[in-house]
Chains A and B, each alone.
Chain A
Amino acid sequence: MITTVDLTKRYGRTLAVDEVNLDVREGDRYGLLGPNGSGKTTLVRMLLALVYATRGSIEVLGQPVPRRAHEVLPLIGAMVESPAAYPHLSGRTNLALFDAAGPGGRRGSRRRRIEQALDRVGLAGIDRRPVKAYSLGMRQRLGLAAALLREPRLLILDEPTNGLDPRGIREIRDLMTELNAAGTTVFLSSHLLAEVEQLCTRVGVMDRGRLVLQDELATLRGPTGRVVLSTSDPERAHAVLDGRVESREGDRLVVRHDDPAELNARLVAEDIRVTSLGREHRSLEDVVLEATTTSSDRVDEQRPPAGAAERSPRSSGRIQGAP
């Protein structure tokens, strides 16, 4: 669906995107994670031919971008950064103008498609109020409706749940899952770990313009080879499992063990009562923190030689991108 090879964008002396090999497959719910300023938005803009790459190539839906962008873009629904609309016009008029502006939006079905899209994002009841009277969340929903107007094969969304309340976030997440189940590939960028963790099947992590990690979420969150258990008798459990216990905190033990079932059987055989027991998984947060260096909006005093040396050997053997 989306493949980039050595994609690089340089603004003057800053390297916004640095040799990114993105690989989004058909049917994915792909989450691009990264702190603010890590190059996510620039990458998304390059995929949509808004920004031209300094080096490298992009292929979207099998076509090179930006060369064949005019063929690819009609099949994509997208939201780049904040949603935008003409503030003095109503939401419906905005959608109608937007639909009429480009190819592939048939006039006969326009009204029906607009109502459908508004219904999907939960704005079916909006009146003729101008967009300038909308709340931030309503604008966000309107932006999503614009992206859904022509039943796109690929959705590219930059921070889609910005400005929504928890219930709104949940609705949008359900909508994404529903669309994805119906065959739409979803590519979203976010700095919210929880959002990506709950919605996506594949994850890419950007850090200072580089894609430092790209893998299936299930693989990233694989078991750590440890079991976490709680028991009413931690003293004895500790004694029985001596040597395997890595840490103990009240009645909660972390045990190095591959098979929770066997561990449970052993404890029960010793007549130790277990209240809970399960495999420990790596959290996405751990994975991301491990892969990224520092928050990019943090401004530390510059110590150029040491910092540069640390970063220069391409530290990530972890990139598992496309060839």
Chain B
Amino acid sequence: MIAVELAKLFRRPRMYVIVGLLCLLPFIVAIFLATTRIPPPPGQGGAFLSAVLANGALYPAAAMALVLPVFLPVAVAVLAGDSIAGEATTGTLRYLLIRPVGRTRLLVAKLISMIAFVLFAIAMVVVTSYLTGVLMLGTGAANTGGVVLLPPDVTSLSGDVISPAEFGLRILGTIGYITLSMLGVAAIALFLSTLADSALGAAMGALAVLVTSQVLVTLDAAEGVKPYLPTRYWLAWIDFFREPIFWRDIERGAALQLVYVAVLLGAAWANFKTRDVTS
């Protein structure tokens, strides 16, 4: 069933359109940066954006900071919201269930295909943005001598250097952390997808949760609930690029996402397992 879900995901043209759009955003930003060479003022704009002007090899990290807050969660919410409700709309859900595919199995397969999508999308963004960065912005002087200079707008002490291998490891850590964060989004949308009749409704619901959470994170009056908001630690992966790595928020964020995933999947399972399929 998992293989079937993956086949369905990767045979669907719209998936490539979504990934293409995700890759396009950093590319467009790179064009502007490369032609004007105007860095955003320190403390404003996306993370890493001024650093990439010095070293294009850092561009994957900047690209991640560009797609993470809005674009990637929207894509995940749309696809995960479609997962059960979409099958119900086309009528294929009933045929899968009488095939028979166990309801639990189907949910797990859907979630795994979402992980596959997120990994694929991030990998594509990393690869295309690395190429974009190196080709359009150049590797700069910072990379000479085979070391990567961590950008001063991120590191507390400017001028820390790490080896390219270390940098690669940290990128992998980032990919893992972002995947986990997106899994939280997928779990919200998947749960709503077992509730709602329409894929659009499920996606909208998940986005409503995320937008509310994003607004509350910036609101001082909501201090009490902040640590429990799903988007609170989304940008904690930037801490992977500090020297030394600042683990506290990363650990809290990962634990929070795991709790969200466990609770929402449990709810999705309980609802889907006992539901009458009348679509």
Contacts and interface: CB of A to CB of B under 8 A. Distances in A.
A197 to B, nearest CB: 28
Contacts of B224: none
A189 B150 CA distance: 70
Interface in A68-109: 69-70, 73-74, 76, 78, 80-89, 93, 97-98, 100-103
A89 B10 CA distance: 12
B2 to A, nearest CB: 10
A146 interface: yes
Contact of B90 (A52, A73, A87, A102): A87
Given A70-B102, A78-B98, A102-B100, A84 B90 contact: yes
Nearest to A78: B98
A289 interface: no
A84 B277 CA distance: 14
A97 B277 contact: no
Given A50-B94, A81-B91, A70 B7 contact: no
Contact of B95 (A74, A84, A89): A84
> Which of B13, B99, B101, B276 lies at the interface centre, i.e. has the most chain A CB atoms within 10 A of its CB?
B99
A6 to B, nearest CB: 19
Nearest to B99: A102
B90 A74 contact: no
Size band of the interface chain B makes with A: 20 to 34
A52 B276 contact: yes
A82 B91 contact: yes
Given A45-B278, A86-B92, A73 B8 contact: no
B104 to A, nearest CB: 11
Interface in B1-28: 1, 3-4, 7-8, 11-13
A303 to B, nearest CB: 30
A100 B100 contact: no
Size band of the interface chain A makes with B: 20 to 34
Nearest to B12: A88
Given A45-B277, A86-B8, A101-B4, A69 B91 contact: no
B225 interface: no
> Which of A73, A83, A97 lies at the interface centre, i.e. has the most chain B CB atoms within 10 A of its CB?
A97
B67 to A, nearest CB: 26
Contacts of B157: none
B101 A102 contact: yes
Contacts of A101: 1, 4, 96, 99, 101
Given A74-B100, A84-B90, A97-B7, A50 B95 contact: no
Nearest to A82: B91
Interface in A35-57: 45, 48-52
B1 A102 contact: yes
Contacts of A52: 274, 276
Contacts of A80: 94-95, 98
B259 interface: no
> Which of B1, B90, B276 lies at the interface centre, i.e. has the most chain A CB atoms within 10 A of its CB?
B276
B254 to A, nearest CB: 33
Contacts of B274: 52
A15 to B, nearest CB: 15
B262 interface: no
Contacts of B211: none
B98 A48 contact: yes
Contacts of B94: 45, 48, 50, 80, 84
Given A73-B99, A74-B100, A51 B8 contact: no
29 contacts: A45-B94, A45-B278, A48-B97, A48-B98, A50-B94, A51-B276, A70-B100, A73-B100, A74-B100, A76-B98, A78-B98, A80-B94, A81-B91, A83-B91, A84-B92, A84-B95, A86-B92, A88-B11, A88-B12, A93-B11, A97-B4, A98-B95, A101-B4, A101-B96, A101-B99, A101-B101, A102-B1, A102-B101, A146-B95
